[in-house]
Amino acid sequence: MNTSVDLWVDPICPWAWMTSRWLVEVEKQRPITLNFRGMSLAHLNRDREMPPKYAAIITDGMKPVRALAATRLEYGQTEFRALYEAMGMLFHPGGRGIDEIDSIVVDAVKNAGLPSSISDRMNDTSLDSEVIKDHDVAIALVGEDVGTPVIAVNGNAFFGPVVTPAPKGQAALDLWDGALLVSSVAGFYEIKRSRTAGPQFD
């Protein structure tokens, strides 16, 4: 029997991308069903003072998650995942920045095999309520002092893991088993150390 794993992501977040690549590797080796869900760093940080270089996250960051929300509503999980992965490939291994966000959404929609009408939805603010609704599910599970990625499995939820590069093979399974173990302990909250490397994309 497959274990259902919910993963909340914002396509602009490189750390969520790394976590998603790790879970895709786990999915190849363990009976899990990976469900991608939307989360918004723009919404999370809407009332926070951001450094100037991150200001575009607030002004434009809703665009890709709106397109994802429209895809989920009109099509479903398979297409949502395909669009997220197409966006992630352009943002992260592709090295394109948030200053190209409109063209990234357009190109990702095309690469995912979805109709161009999905691209138009990135400016549809009526979708914000759908984005926020799914975002708030994640925040309700883990609290407001964390961002993306969020994972929920076996009745437990946690932020992270933040990892680079994405583990492969047995290392991916070791991290999976360890994450499940510590997150199952009542009263467990945090393990952390300072990052010494940025995201390393395949």
Taking only the tens place, the pLDDT of each residue in 2-44 is 999 999 999 999 999 999 999 999 999 999 999 999 999 999 9
pLDDT of residue 50: 75
- Is residue 28 situated within a structural domain? yes
State if pTM tops 0.85.
yes
Q: How far is CA 50 from CA 42, 54, 56, 111, in A?
A: 11, 6, 10, 32
Taking only the tens place, the pLDDT of each residue in 57-87 is 777 999 999 999 999 999 999 999 999 999 9
pLDDT of residue 163: 96
- Is residue 3 situated within a structural domain? no
- Is residue 99 situated within a structural domain? yes
- Is residue 58 situated within a structural domain? yes
Residue 174: burial class (beta carbons within 10 Å; 0-12, 13-18, 19+): exposed
How many domains in the chain? 1
Smallest Cα–Cα separation from 200: which of 106, 95, 128, 68? 95
The boundaries of the domain holding residue 124 are 8-183
Residue given tokens 């999915």 in the structure block: 27
Structure token pair of residue 146: 């964390």
- pLDDT confidence of 198, banded at 50, 70, 90? confident
Amino acid identity of residue 166, one-letter, is A
The three-state secondary structure class of 158 is strand
- Is residue 197 situated within a structural domain? no
Domain CATH code at residue 109: 3.40.30.10
The answer to whether 53 and 98 have CB atoms below 8 angstroms apart is no
pLDDT of residue 22: 99
Q: How far is CA 16 from CA 9, 49, 143, 147, 174, in A?
A: 6, 22, 17, 9, 19
What mean pLDDT comes out for the span 183-197? 90
pLDDT of residue 115: 99
**What values do phi and psi take at 23, rounded to 5?**
-65, -35
- Is residue 140 situated within a structural domain? yes
- Is residue 196 situated within a structural domain? no
- pLDDT confidence of 144, banded at 50, 70, 90? confident
Taking only the tens place, the pLDDT of each residue in 84-115 is 999 999 999 999 998 999 999 999 999 999 99
Task: Mention every residue, 6+ apart, whose C-beta is less than 8 A from residue 158.
Answer: 142, 150, 151, 179, 183
**3-9/156-159 β-pairing:** unpaired
Instruction: Give the span between the Cα atoms of 157 and 4, in whole angstroms.
Output: 12
> Is the confidence at residue 54, as pLDDT, over 80?
no
- In what side-by-side order are the strands of the sheet with 32-38? 32-38, 3-9, 150-153, 156-159
> Is the confidence at residue 53, as pLDDT, over 90?
no
- Is residue 192 situated within a structural domain? no
